[in-house]
Amino acid sequence: MTKVDTALQKTPASASGNKLPVQFDPNVHWNTLPEVTLNTNHLNAKYIVTAERAHPAHAAFDMLRTRLLQTLAEYGWTRLAITAPTRGCGSSFVTANLALSIARLKAVSTVVLDVDVRERSLHSTLGITPRNSMSEYLKGMIAPEDFFVRTSPNLAFGLNNQNEYSAAEIFQDEMASDVLDELQDLLNPDLILFDLPPALEHDDALAILPKVDCVLLVAGAGESKPEDITKLEQVLSDVKPVLGVMLNKANS
């Protein structure tokens, strides 16, 4: 049963009988988010191949998209974290490509959060100017409509305009859980993607893992040591299911 179904059970339908009350209608809240236009030249320069799908590499992300969505649907999961052993493996690159690939499925709504607040980068990958601070949003200081932007009717981004070096403490605060639950209730997305910081450098990634359902690990060819990948899989799987390891920067 979806959250919309639950809301319908708890609250009478509107007079027309086929619409949710405003406070329970996710479309109303999606429409409050300002829409920005992605610059395809910028995306191409950043190798975001799923934007125009001109490069054959987009097929790998489409395959990943379908496999992930099937697994998430099987288990009823909606929150996927994407992380890497160390910086430079390309987790933000994978997050951006995956998000734009999923957005082509008009029936799937997705929210993307840049929670690598120690060294923010997703906004640069996408070419979007962040509106506010992720740490302040997770502290409950910023309303969703003042934080998120839409790039299409079914894709929204929560980006960060300043670095924060006490990230783990923010993630572990109960307010962060309340904020994420509010986001789930207001926008009712089918999927929330979390672009996490590298998991072996600090405890930031581990701190937010209890708030997600599962993890995708990104390894960088020439960047990630096999022992680091094995270690990280073991560490993460003690907290959340690891759906797999994606090898990035491979030549073939």
Higher pLDDT: 96 or 252? It is 96
Both tokens of residue 70?
Answer: 């099937």
d(CA 171, CA 206): 9
pLDDT in tens, 208-241: 999 999 999 998 777 778 888 888 888 898 999 9
Closest C-alpha among 244, 239, 237, 185 to residue 219: 244
pLDDT in tens, 144-160: 999 999 999 999 999 99
d(CA 178, CA 131): 21
Higher pLDDT: 139 or 19? It is 139
pLDDT in tens, 147-200: 999 999 999 999 999 998 888 999 999 999 999 999 999 999 999 999 999 988
For residues 4 and 116, the answer to whether their CB atoms sit within 8 Å is no
SS3 assignment, position 199: coil
Closest C-alpha among 212, 48, 32, 30 to residue 109: 30
49 burial via Cβ count (<10 Å: 0-12, 13-18, 19+): buried
Could you tell me the pLDDT band of residue 24, with boundaries at 50, 70 and 90? low
Could you tell me the pLDDT band of residue 250, with boundaries at 50, 70 and 90? low
pTM of the model: 0.86
For residues 54 and 41, the answer to whether their CB atoms sit within 8 Å is no
